[in-house]
Structure 1
Amino acid sequence: MTPRPPRLTALAAAATLLVGGLLAAGPSVQAAGTTGTGTPVKAQDGPGTPAITPTPQSVKSRSDRITITPTVTVVAGETADESALAVVEKALEQAGARRVVRSARASASGLTVHVGDAGALAAQKLEGPSALPADGYVLGIGADRIVLAGKDTTGTYYAAQSLRQVLPHRKRPGARVGGLAVRDWPGTALRGVIEGFYGTPWSHKARLDQLDYYGEHKMNIYVYSPKDDAYLREKWRDAYPADQLAQIKDLTDRAVRRHVEFTYALSPGLSVCYSSDEDAKALVDKFQTIWDIGVRTFAVPLDDISYTDWNCDADKAKWGTGGGAAGAAQAYLLNRVNKEFIATHPGAQPLQMVPTEYYNVSESAYKAALSEQLDPDVLVEWTGVGVVAPTMTVTQADAARKVFGHPILTWDNYPVNDYATDRLLLGPFNGREKGLPGRLAGITANPMIQPYASKLSLYTVADYSWNDAAYDPRTSWGKGLKEYAGGDARTEQALRAFADVNYSSALNTDKAPELAAEFARYWKSGDSKRLTSVLRNLGAAPARLRAGLPDRGFVEDSGPWLDATESWATASRTALRMVDAARAGNGAQAWELRQQLPAQVERAKSFVYTGLDGRKVPVHVGDGMLDAFVEAATAEHDRILGVSGRPTASTSLGTYQDNTAARMLDGDDSTYFWSDGAPAADDQLTVDLGESRGIGDITLAMGKPGSTDDYLHEGVLEYSADGKNWQQLTAFSGKPDVTTTALAGTKARYVRARATAGQTSWVVVREFHVATTDGAVTGNPPAATGSALSSAADGDPGTVYRAARGPRDGEFLEVGLGAARAVGSVTVLRPAGAKGAADIQLRNADGDWRTVGRLGGSYTDVDAHGRTADAVRLAWREGATAPEIAEVVVAK
């Protein structure tokens, strides 16, 4: 087993200084940013400079070059280990070398590669790595040699990973490689991943794969802390079954070979008695079992537990109650573990812990107790300001160091999706200030339930934590996509399109930013050809990824989201074709396409993810963009047709989870809008009818079982024609269900409920119904159950009047126009395949009905030549087929 470098020894010493108030970077870090003469060095990535990830601190091209000879000699120096040598040898073979031989001395003829030999840099006139911090390295290519010189064995291993990226892939020797000088070091000591989510734990195979990925991307810590491993939490005192212990050993051995610290995190907080000698011994004994299989880094997370309820009476008797008591009890137990286990095991890394208050920097009795009583060399993990912190700043990190009094290792809850299992979070690491890594003991990112899909975001985490000064989220994201696609341009394009519609998160608030830009361009320019190509590529992306993505685990992880993406792209293309047809005056084709959309959208929403509990969770992709485009395209079709479209809802309040304002208008009392906070005076919920219409009965149904107090306690119902000037309909107070009727003749486009006072409870609205009086529909046959006569002219072609029976002689369906006016045309929309015949008639000023056309097919458009009428009707011809009418549109 390769000895672990003591990378945390200096960190532990620094911790003591930090407690004393010193926040400046240590001398070794200062030295890392200069050349031997004190001249600052910066990353250079100019033309011809090969891409290395994570982005190096300094890359410079040289004027000389080397050639990959048929036989390459590898000379191992003092900081070379078998892991680094294996990476180098494989990279040379892939570059075309037929034979790679190890020797104690350089070759007199072929290329020689010096691994872990800083002295060999002299021929290249490069400074050695002695001034660099742990994990730093120098890579030199030129002067007829390649030299990899690490500050330590891990640094040399990282130099090998950089060389792997620099060398070409060739089938035969002779490749010429440009000269290069890389001087590189990490921005923070610890960089990696904490498997700390709730939900389906990763498979053993996936964890092994992850460790390989971390080594390739210069991440050096993996914290084993899956919330649903019972032997870490509920059964923390119990010994592992032999097979599970063997798997942990397997992971530990792989981690050593990849220069990753495997950290074992035991979470006793659900049942531990802090004062108990037996529990302290159980914890130490469990750690000893894990030590015996090779683990050298340990953590005790005490997150997501109660610290107001003791697990034993002895703790209350010893410490009392309150946050300060809990902090003292936790410090007592951790100090025992630190003294009885960590201090007695040479080679053990500093103990890590997660406080119960891990999500803020506010002062508290709990934090004060930890700061004062916890051993100074214990690392404290912290998620930032918020459980999922949208941003993280240097100021916040400094505040965390001060309030906890210990070095801070961030537990960054990105790209974790256990709180949003319906989504993949494939955007870059974002919102983290430059300079932050240098203030931290390290950065660990909590990944998604999907291990392989997590790699896209983890690539950017590795890039930021290594070199935050050069980090740009979008640039790093693009490089990660290219690498993950295996160098194939078509696969990269497909992966980018798929990642874009799975981009948004608490850290990346832009929804599908690249697709959103294309939608915006289309609505501005009307260039459907370009958008058609974009949507075609999006629809083809899932098949391309399934066929060509090298990492098959990603395809398995992403299956439901791939299916949903393909279906949403199909629906969006249909919506685009619909608008094109409507704008071209081809109403029949546009209507045919509009009728295809509901089934396509339903299919796009049908794909599910199966959680740990077996629950089926509908997945979301591109929500707020793809679905919004379909809705906007439908509204555009309806506008061209001459109807107002279905009413829409909006609010000044935020939305809790996916309980959107649209649910106020879905006709389903079991669904609801739910705010994410309490309203203040003048907060409002508004219904937009699309155009000014006569209004009648209004119903506002608020509250729900389990949230009976969530309603507007004090407010008014108001209406407006222009959204600026408002008139009151009624005031209400202290009741969740409000009804009123507008005075006859009242016309409005907008109706709103406005709070007239602030309150502490949130707001639930089950339904906000505004009945309209113009366009009133009367006649026969009666509507079938679940349908309504009004659906024939409600401004929404998506709703359908379905008759309960066939028409009888003399029956008709009449749509009032409110007042006599000129009628330019009458368009009747019916569902595809609908049957039944009728005369289309207008009523003139004398009350007489005149036939202007006949109903035929699903789309009938009749020119009325500007005749004046106050009503239109469909005079049915007797038949057995029950009529179906989606919309009667009367245009001026």
Structure 2
Amino acid sequence: MKMNHYAKCMAAGLLCTFMYGTLSAQETDFDLSSQRSEKQDVRAVPGKKIDHQGLIINPTPHQLKVNKENTCPILQGINLKDKQHKFSAYLDFLPTNKKGVKLAIDFGPKAARKAQVKEVSGAYSLIINPKEIILTGYDARGAFYGIQTLKQLTESPVAFQGTLPCMEINDYPDLPNRGVVEGFYGTPWSHEVRLSLIDFYGKFKMNTYLYGPKDDPYHSCPNWRLPYPEKEAQHIKELVEASNRNYVDFVWAIHPGQDIKWNEEDYQNLINKFNWMYDLGVRHFAIFFDDISGEGTNPLKQTELLNRLTEEFVKVKGDVSPLTVCPTDYSKLWANPTEKGSLAIYGKTLNPEIKVFWTGDVVCSDLTPETLDFINSRIKRPAYYWWNYPVTDYIRNFLLQGPVYGLDTSLTAQETCGVISNPMEHGEASKLALYGVADYAWNIADYNAIDNWERGLAELVPDATDAYRTFAIHSSDTENGYRRDESWETQTFRIADWNDAAANTLEEEFKKVESVPARMENGCQNKALLNELQPWLTEFGKLGTRGKQAIELARIYRSGQDDALFWTKYIQNIMTPEDRKNYEAHKSGTLKLQPFYEYAMDDMAHGYLKKLSGKVPNDYKGIGSFSSAHTVQTKLMFDNDSTTFYTSGIAQKPNDWIGVDLRDVRDVTEISILQGRNSKDDVDYFDHAVVECSADGQNWKALTSELNQQYIIHWQGAPEKARYVRLKRLDSKRTNYASVRSFDVNPLRPDNLGFTLEADTLSKAVYAFDNNLGTSYQSTKAIAFGVNKDVKAYTLLTNQLPAPIKCVQLDKKGKVLSETMIETPYARIELADKNVNQIRLEGKAEIFEIVPIN
């Protein structure tokens, strides 16, 4: 991806960190904060699955006529007539046999005109008759693509009996540039993965591999002026050779802008570097001016340099293709739209042969006619679309395995000269998306997102396709920023809306999820892919188990007959801190599956505690104006951990707010809020705000005066009847995200409990009495608490006990009135008599709640 500091996941992690807002690219340093969409609409995936009747070709051919009545035998092999002696090595998937079916291969303008092949690089004709196969390319690349189509036909189910149906294919690419940019932040691909991907590009008719890994120091600072060391240079040479074999243009990119000096010395440094790369076989070059600040952002200097390189390097060499550039203003989000903006300067001064990258309205965004109209009208050429998908350097705890969509199917080469995908640092796992990008860029109008995805799953994991599909359909969303549809075949519900049939169906899906890791382990033959997926598969299987058990627990909960059984099963299905840490590091199911589990457990905990205590629990809920404020992400404001935070996930705007639903009208006397991801220099907060409360959610009362640049907010006052409390944004120029680490209303402390408390850590021991099952206290030795006069008994709710704990009841003088041993996580403590003044629990126990019974 295209920011200069990739995000770190926080310890208990919900989201990746984001720095800086929507400042101009020329005004500040960058990080992945700009990797954000300003909308969070989760659009449905278009298209539908098609029955191809055993004939699988990717990309989808423009013209395909099949004659099922006649077949061509291929079992005995082919009698090859390679007229220009270039392709025999590419036909190893068919045995050579003089008695086999004749296969004639030719290419060139003359042969292409005769075969009515379109005059476009990569175009070809493939005719399969009972006695011969005729393959004609417009150029050598077209002939190579025809061979790839023939190979896919022989691998299709239709060929299982050793014959192919007779057919005519006349095919060509819609866009001249179709491929992949290794342009993400993070761990660059290994040499082996790069080679594997280059073969993949060739197989599916992608013609561009742009080498620009942000963490390659010889591509960028500090060593862009230096030659590659011997080992790395040899790898580059091997990548060029592999690309040439696959008719892929290996485009080597340099990223000099952060420290370039606009002088003759650095110009010569650049020429020297290009010549070194030329000597390694590179014939295609790009220059990136993205994600920089300072003098390097000067658009006039950039175009002057590019034009001079065109005249003095590209044209002088003679066999080097026109340059490609990524401008500093590569997104509409911060581009200056005026005539003085860098894009307009490009349009007026840049050599028209040079291709210009564009990421769209924002850094991760859909390809639309509107965004191309904006850029093309300024740069005076069809833009080269850099699609930041399926890149995850801004959400490195996710894998994106969903369909490729969001690319307009009405576009032509008149609007965009090409589409290039920026994938994940997980190269093998990126192939599913690249399979779709290849299909789209070749045949735009016929692109079918769902059908392509279904074919891609079978292509990558043919022996465990259903398992891979289950993982992929639930591993598509980003949870923030550039949202992707996920789990669209699964219906979830809240416990209050329980339906037996729906529950049974969902339970079966969770069982499938639970079985995926084992099925993938047994059936996925691509071990490199399996290794990349493995950490996510492990957590995915655990999610299936948790979801399945949540439904089993809900049946017990709904019966309402066995409180002890419910609690025992409940604590077996909660996520431990270690569980949550592991899940946060490798997330999936964030749109439906994990929220179902979270909501189900929370809703049952709320109802269960309300039943035991006879009052509304204090498990407050996050609310707000942002779409993410209605998700489980807001729980991070209430987890008693100031290192985690809820974030809006989109830019703040006028009248935005973040708040708390207290679940009931209460007397509010104190509010404490920690804004931002830290209290020192973070930018994701409301810098001008007010704290308000409301009993009905309609009429709001200000509790504070206007707050300016306050990360730490604290209010105390006379009781206010309120169910809702919020922090509301006032007039501000800030467009960053908004983040809140904690939002405490009526924080519980030992001095306001209403009884005495003794424990190792009093500030945490109050969690045993906070009327909230979402918190707990880890007692290592003992905890003692005073007994109020109106209490007759207590219900003790703990986690599984490592050993029995002792319950000691004492009178005012400290005399022991009763001693009992507690061995189960659910226990009722009956008071020995009316003289009990204090109860002491001795031993190790995680205590969720001590519920008084009056």
The two structures have a TM-score, normalised by structure 1, of: 0.77
Which residue, out of 791, 800, 810, partners 1:832? 800
- Alpha-carbon separation, structure 1, partners of 2:79 and 2:496: 58
2:295 equivalent to 1:309: yes
Secondary structure class of the residue paired with 1:309: helix
Report what 1:54 is aligned to.
Answer: 59
CA shift at 1:641, angstroms?
1.7
CA shift at 1:345, angstroms?
2.4
2:235 equivalent to 1:247: yes
Report what 1:443 is aligned to.
Answer: 419
Q: Which amino acid aligns with 2:96?
A: V
The correspondence of residues 96-107 of structure 1 with structure 2, limited to 5 A, is: 99-101=95-97
- Alpha-carbon separation, structure 1, partners of 2:496 and 2:198: 44
Q: Which amino acid aligns with 1:719?
A: S
Secondary structure class of the residue paired with 2:491: helix
Structure 1: give runs of 5+ residues left out of the alignment. 1-42, 93-98, 311-322, 609-617, 818-822, 841-850, 865-871
Report what 2:13 is aligned to.
Answer: none
Give the paired residue count: 775
Which residue, out of 460, 463, 477, partners 1:504? 477
The correspondence of residues 752-771 of structure 1 with structure 2, limited to 5 A, is: 752-755=726-729, 757=731, 760=734, 765-771=740-746
What RMSD over aligned residues (CA atoms) do the two structures have, in Å?
4.2
Q: Which moved more, 1:445-454 or 1:432-441?
A: 432-441
CA shift at 1:591, angstroms?
0.8
Shift of the 232–180 alpha-carbon distance from structure 1 to 2, 3 Å rule, reads same
Report what 1:17 is aligned to.
Answer: none
Which residue, out of 518, 533, 554, partners 1:543? 518
Report what 2:170 is aligned to.
Answer: 183
The correspondence of residues 329-408 of structure 1 with structure 2, limited to 5 A, is: 329-360=301-332, 362-363=337-338, 364-388=340-364, 390-408=365-383
- Alpha-carbon separation, structure 1, partners of 2:841 and 2:109: 99
Q: Which amino acid aligns with 2:797?
A: L
CA shift at 1:747, angstroms?
4.9
Q: Residues 407-433 of structure 1, C-alpha deviation per residue, up to 9 Å, x if partnerless?
A: 422222211222222222222332121
Q: Which moved more, 1:799-808 or 1:709-718?
A: 799-808
Report what 1:684 is aligned to.
Answer: 657
2:101 equivalent to 1:116: no
Which residue, out of 666, 686, 689, partners 2:639? 666
2:723 equivalent to 1:749: yes
Q: Residues 577-630 of structure 1, C-alpha deviation per residue, up to 9 Å, x if partnerless?
A: 22222123333222112212344563242268xxxxxxxxx3332335444223
Q: Which amino acid aligns with 1:238?
A: L
Secondary structure class of the residue paired with 1:573: helix
- Alpha-carbon separation, structure 2, partners of 1:468 and 1:858: 60
Report what 1:150 is aligned to.
Answer: 137
Shift of the 71–120 alpha-carbon distance from structure 1 to 2, 3 Å rule, reads farther
Is the Cα contact below 8 Å between 1:693 and 1:774 reproduced in 2?
A: no
Which residue, out of 546, 553, 575, partners 2:550? 575
Is the Cα contact below 8 Å between 2:428 and 2:529 reproduced in 1?
A: yes
- Alpha-carbon separation, structure 2, partners of 1:333 and 1:344: 15
Shift of the 742–460 alpha-carbon distance from structure 1 to 2, 3 Å rule, reads farther
Is the Cα contact below 8 Å between 1:813 and 1:873 reproduced in 2?
A: no
CA shift at 1:78, angstroms?
4.3
Structure 2: give runs of 5+ residues left out of the alignment. 1-47, 611-616, 811-817
Which residue, out of 443, 467, 473, partners 1:467? 443
Report what 1:261 is aligned to.
Answer: 249
Is the Cα contact below 8 Å between 2:778 and 2:846 reproduced in 1?
A: yes
Report what 1:422 is aligned to.
Answer: 397
- Alpha-carbon separation, structure 2, partners of 1:238 and 1:558: 36
Report what 2:599 is aligned to.
Answer: 632
2:507 equivalent to 1:532: yes
Q: Residues 714-771 of structure 1, C-alpha deviation per residue, up to 9 Å, x if partnerless?
A: 4243131x4345556555545652312343xx65433334456556486554432222
CA shift at 1:465, angstroms?
0.7
- Alpha-carbon separation, structure 2, partners of 1:373 and 1:56: 39
Report what 1:409 is aligned to.
Answer: 384
Report what 1:279 is aligned to.
Answer: 266
CA shift at 1:457, angstroms?
0.9
- Alpha-carbon separation, structure 2, partners of 1:891 and 1:566: 40
- Alpha-carbon separation, structure 1, partners of 2:347 and 2:324: 14
- Alpha-carbon separation, structure 2, partners of 1:794 and 1:531: 33
The correspondence of residues 313-324 of structure 1 with structure 2, limited to 5 A, is: none
- Alpha-carbon separation, structure 1, partners of 2:398 and 2:558: 35
Report what 1:613 is aligned to.
Answer: none
The correspondence of residues 565-644 of structure 1 with structure 2, limited to 5 A, is: 565-585=540-560, 586-600=562-576, 602-606=578-582, 618-643=585-610, 644=617
Q: Which amino acid aligns with 2:805?
A: K
Shift of the 835–174 alpha-carbon distance from structure 1 to 2, 3 Å rule, reads closer
- Alpha-carbon separation, structure 2, partners of 1:173 and 1:754: 65
2:286 equivalent to 1:299: yes
CA shift at 1:888, angstroms?
5.1
Q: Residues 83-140 of structure 1, C-alpha deviation per residue, up to 9 Å, x if partnerless?
A: xx444441x3xxxxxx5236xxxx5xx4222233799999xxx982433522112222
Q: Residues 668-717 of structure 1, C-alpha deviation per residue, up to 9 Å, x if partnerless?
A: 34544455677666433322222344544333444611149944634243
Is the Cα contact below 8 Å between 1:695 and 1:770 reproduced in 2?
A: yes
Secondary structure class of the residue paired with 1:59: strand
- Alpha-carbon separation, structure 1, partners of 2:159 and 2:384: 46
Q: Which amino acid aligns with 2:106?
A: G
CA shift at 1:886, angstroms?
3.2
2:624 equivalent to 1:651: yes
Q: Which moved more, 1:729-738 or 1:348-357?
A: 729-738
Report what 2:487 is aligned to.
Answer: 513
Which residue, out of 197, 207, 224, partners 1:210? 197
Shift of the 719–268 alpha-carbon distance from structure 1 to 2, 3 Å rule, reads closer
CA shift at 1:535, angstroms?
1.5
Q: Residues 381-429 of structure 1, C-alpha deviation per residue, up to 9 Å, x if partnerless?
A: 22222222x2221232233222112342222221122222222222233
Q: Which moved more, 1:560-569 or 1:522-531?
A: 522-531
- Alpha-carbon separation, structure 2, partners of 1:173 and 1:718: 70
Secondary structure class of the residue paired with 2:295: coil
Q: Residues 135-177 of structure 1, C-alpha deviation per residue, up to 9 Å, x if partnerless?
A: 1122222343222222222112112111222225799996332
CA shift at 1:258, angstroms?
0.8
Secondary structure class of the residue paired with 2:313: helix
2:42 equivalent to 1:75: no
- Alpha-carbon separation, structure 2, partners of 1:765 and 1:288: 52
Secondary structure class of the residue paired with 2:397: coil
Shift of the 508–144 alpha-carbon distance from structure 1 to 2, 3 Å rule, reads farther
Is the Cα contact below 8 Å between 1:60 and 1:182 reproduced in 2?
A: yes
Percent of aligned pairs with the same amino acid: 28
Q: Which moved more, 1:242-251 or 1:362-371?
A: 362-371
Shift of the 187–705 alpha-carbon distance from structure 1 to 2, 3 Å rule, reads same
Shift of the 393–553 alpha-carbon distance from structure 1 to 2, 3 Å rule, reads same
Is the Cα contact below 8 Å between 1:297 and 1:348 reproduced in 2?
A: yes
CA shift at 1:451, angstroms?
0.9
CA shift at 1:485, angstroms?
0.9
Q: Which amino acid aligns with 2:384?
A: L
CA shift at 1:219, angstroms?
0.4
Is the Cα contact below 8 Å between 1:701 and 1:768 reproduced in 2?
A: yes
2:467 equivalent to 1:494: yes
Secondary structure class of the residue paired with 1:101: coil
Q: Residues 515-551 of structure 1, C-alpha deviation per residue, up to 9 Å, x if partnerless?
A: 7535579955244332222122212212322332122
Secondary structure class of the residue paired with 1:332: helix
- Alpha-carbon separation, structure 1, partners of 2:381 and 2:513: 48
Report what 2:70 is aligned to.
Answer: 65
The correspondence of residues 689-838 of structure 1 with structure 2, limited to 5 A, is: 689-702=662-675, 704-707=679-682, 710-711=685-686, 713-720=688-695, 722-726=696-700, 731=705, 733-734=707-708, 736-743=712-719, 747-755=721-729, 757=731, 760=734, 765-771=740-746, 778-779=754-755, 782-786=758-762, 790-800=766-776, 813-814=787-788, 828-833=796-801, 835-837=805-807
